[in-house]
Structure 1
Amino acid sequence: MCTSLTYQTTTGDQFLARTMDFGFELGGRPVAVPRKHHFTSVVDAQGFDAPYSFVGTGRNLNGYVFVDGVNEHGVSAAALYFAGQAAYATQAESGKVNLAPHEVVMWILGNVKTVQELGERLNDLNITEAAAPLLNIVVPLHWIVSDQSGATYVLEREADGMHFIENPVGVMTNTPDFNWHLKNLNNYMQLQPTPHPARQYGDLTVNAFGPGSGALGMPGDYTSVSRFVRTAFIREHTDAVDTDAEAVNTLSHMLNSVEIPKGVKIKADGAADYTQYRAYMSMHEPAFYMQPYGDQTITRVALTNDLMTADQPTEFALSAKQQFQEAARV
């Protein structure tokens, strides 16, 4: 279960941020993939190529798997859980790019320059039921994708086919489907950052106890429905800032409202979902920032020419001891 949102600075620079909320330890770290990297696939023995370089959260499981990242053209993407509604093709299809759900982020980041291009190429894709390594299940996912223009879409594959939906609020969480979340915002029209005015009940004038009354009724639990509403409200009213460092700091504060500490969200099987990390993707640099649960240090990896032209992917250790610093290669 995760939360994602987009953000724009006063200078027009675009960011995509996300929490990674999961019970199983995923063990990802910042990894930069060079141009023309070849990915293996559990669906297609031929695998697929990635002409473009990108950096994101990856792990080498006899081949790299990524769940988020940003590419050299400023396209960013993140995969989020979509349990109960995700539905995929049951077999590979000749003449198409056949991908397992956990391979979609790598293909997008490695193959498209804009969100518009992704929309134009969706007919070429066949997302197929195939288990992910490590988890050994078909991971139910949907995806948020954004680019430097600010264009943001949600990609969902359900029983009735593929849906590529413009995202007007710049927020995505988990099940239900994205269009349901948009309709649900109609239930929260009363939310506002300013106090509600005094109310009259007969001869009694009732005043708010203090600032913040405008947000009375905003849901505070950890369900995907509540996290969507809360994040949409906070994103809409948080002040814009000027610089990249300020943007990452602001996004960190915004995601504080949906971060899940260990122990407060227990699943039916006894496992505890918690926010394993937060990621911030700067589309204009491009650069990837990662903030793990156990250490609030933010690690930054900029997609340099050396990384884009390397022979192999480059892994980076998560920084420590400072609040914000560049990553060191492993």
Structure 2
Amino acid sequence: MCTSLTYQTTMGDQFLARTMDFGFELEGRPVAIPRDHHFTGAVNDDGFDAPYSFVGTGRNLNGYVLIDGVNEYGVSAAALYFAGQAHYNDQPTEGAINLAPHDVLMWVLGNVKSTAELGERLSEINIVNAAAPLLNIVVPLHWIISDRSGATYVLEPEEDGLHYLKNPVGVMTNTPDFEWHMKNLSNYVALQPTPHPDRQYGDTTVKAFGPGSGALGMPGDYTSVSRFVRTVYMRQNTTAVDTDAEAVNALSHMLNSVEIPKGVKIKADGSADYTQYRAYMSMDEPAFYIQPYGDQTITRVALTDDLMKADHPTEYALSETQQFNAVN
């Protein structure tokens, strides 16, 4: 359920991309949040303010909820499922910014200019058990956050507190925790894009069955563990590109390796997880790109001055007629 990765062009432009893999129909679409927007919080009546503008995937559920995006300073983030390990506080804390899990991403994008600033301000927030609209459950989440410098972190709320971890491989999936995934990479050090050499067994020389033998053993299933390994490999070895348009194209091809078609991943309750959309956040433009399951056309929404200064959030309905670079 969800894979994310960062990517840098040869010109130094930074991207964060993600798949949204879920069984319940989220019906997300591009939403631009203007500066100084006030969010009504799920924890208490105070809510929170977002001084900075951002754009990402969201929906108006008696107030907008976004699950990924990029802000005007190039900070980009995505919320991913962290089932079985996410731990939140039971009560609000006086003097803290009390946030429901589904509020965290909006607070981050609306309030920080860098990953370093987020690290300095984490002590201000208290994540509280509060149900998300539409799903009506407390959503178990962790977050990947990146900025224009390329600095990338993972934020994980566990029983012993918030963990804000540097992410040197630029990839995140789901449970287990990030440190476990990093240790597991040691099981795959033999993966390489070039063929393995011939092997001699006694008097017999054994040759590989054609190119691609360097990736033998790379896991191909849809578990979070396998998707993490596969995406680290793709990110490391995909040919570098120069332009932003080429970066979106490259990211789309990388995420093809973890995209989940309808019907191939059935959960115990009979529901089917599938990749409802792929999103690409350009931190240097800044701009948001979305590629829905039903129509592989990529739609782009750039964070313009008009959107940042608007009186209300601006929502874009996806349709089959939209084209790449449709919204400037």
The answer for the alignment partner of 2:115 in structure 1 is 115
Q: What amino acid is aligned across from residue 78 of structure 2 in structure 1?
A: A
Contact 1:289 1:300 in 2 (8 A): yes
The answer for the alignment partner of 1:17 in structure 2 is 17
What is the CA–CA distance in structure 2 between the aligned matches of 1:323 and 1:73, rounded to whole Å? 26
What is the CA–CA distance in structure 2 between the aligned matches of 1:320 and 1:243, rounded to whole Å? 26
Asked whether 1:208 is paired with 2:192, we answer no
| Counterpart mapping for 1:219-238 below 5 A | 219-238=219-238
Contact 2:99 2:128 in 1 (8 A): yes
Number of residue pairs matched by the alignment = 328
The answer for the alignment partner of 1:78 in structure 2 is 78
- CA-to-partner distance for each residue in 1:262-304, whole Å, 9 max, x for gaps? 0000000000000000000000000000000000000000000
What is the CA–CA distance in structure 2 between the aligned matches of 1:182 and 1:289, rounded to whole Å? 28
What is the CA–CA distance in structure 1 between the aligned matches of 2:252 and 2:319, rounded to whole Å? 17
What is the CA–CA distance in structure 2 between the aligned matches of 1:42 and 1:64, rounded to whole Å? 12
- CA-to-partner distance for each residue in 1:35-82, whole Å, 9 max, x for gaps? 000001110211100000000001000000000000000000000000
What is the CA–CA distance in structure 2 between the aligned matches of 1:303 and 1:77, rounded to whole Å? 15
The answer for the alignment partner of 1:242 in structure 2 is 242
What is the CA–CA distance in structure 2 between the aligned matches of 1:29 and 1:321, rounded to whole Å? 15
Per-residue deviation, 1:327: 3.6
Per-residue deviation, 1:324: 2.0
Q: What amino acid is aligned across from residue 4 of structure 1 in structure 2?
A: S
What is the CA–CA distance in structure 2 between the aligned matches of 1:317 and 1:59, rounded to whole Å? 10
| Counterpart mapping for 1:1-330 below 5 A | 1-321=1-321, 324-327=324-327
What is the CA–CA distance in structure 1 between the aligned matches of 2:251 and 2:92, rounded to whole Å? 39
Secondary structure of residue in 2 paired with 1:265:
coil
Contact 1:2 1:19 in 2 (8 A): yes
Q: 1:321 to 1:210 in 2, by over 3 A?
A: farther
Per-residue deviation, 1:323: 5.4
Q: What amino acid is aligned across from residue 277 of structure 2 in structure 1?
A: Y
What is the CA–CA distance in structure 1 between the aligned matches of 2:287 and 2:103, rounded to whole Å? 21
Contact 1:36 1:49 in 2 (8 A): yes
Per-residue deviation, 1:319: 4.5
Secondary structure of residue in 1 paired with 2:284:
coil
Q: 1:100 to 1:193 in 2, by over 3 A?
A: same
CA RMSD of aligned residues (A): 0.9
What is the CA–CA distance in structure 1 between the aligned matches of 2:230 and 2:308, rounded to whole Å? 37
What is the CA–CA distance in structure 2 between the aligned matches of 1:267 and 1:325, rounded to whole Å? 36
Contact 1:14 1:148 in 2 (8 A): yes
What is the CA–CA distance in structure 1 between the aligned matches of 2:240 and 2:109, rounded to whole Å? 27
Per-residue deviation, 1:94: 0.5
Secondary structure of residue in 1 paired with 2:43:
coil
What is the CA–CA distance in structure 2 between the aligned matches of 1:269 and 1:327, rounded to whole Å? 39
Secondary structure of residue in 1 paired with 2:316:
strand
Q: 1:322 to 1:38 in 2, by over 3 A?
A: closer
- CA-to-partner distance for each residue in 1:115-146, whole Å, 9 max, x for gaps? 00000000001011000000000000000000
Contact 1:319 1:325 in 2 (8 A): no
Secondary structure of residue in 1 paired with 2:325:
strand
Per-residue deviation, 1:318: 1.8
Q: TM-score, normalised by structure 1?
A: 0.98
What is the CA–CA distance in structure 2 between the aligned matches of 1:255 and 1:60, rounded to whole Å? 27
What is the CA–CA distance in structure 1 between the aligned matches of 2:250 and 2:300, rounded to whole Å? 16
What is the CA–CA distance in structure 1 between the aligned matches of 2:65 and 2:123, rounded to whole Å? 23
What is the CA–CA distance in structure 1 between the aligned matches of 2:318 and 2:115, rounded to whole Å? 30
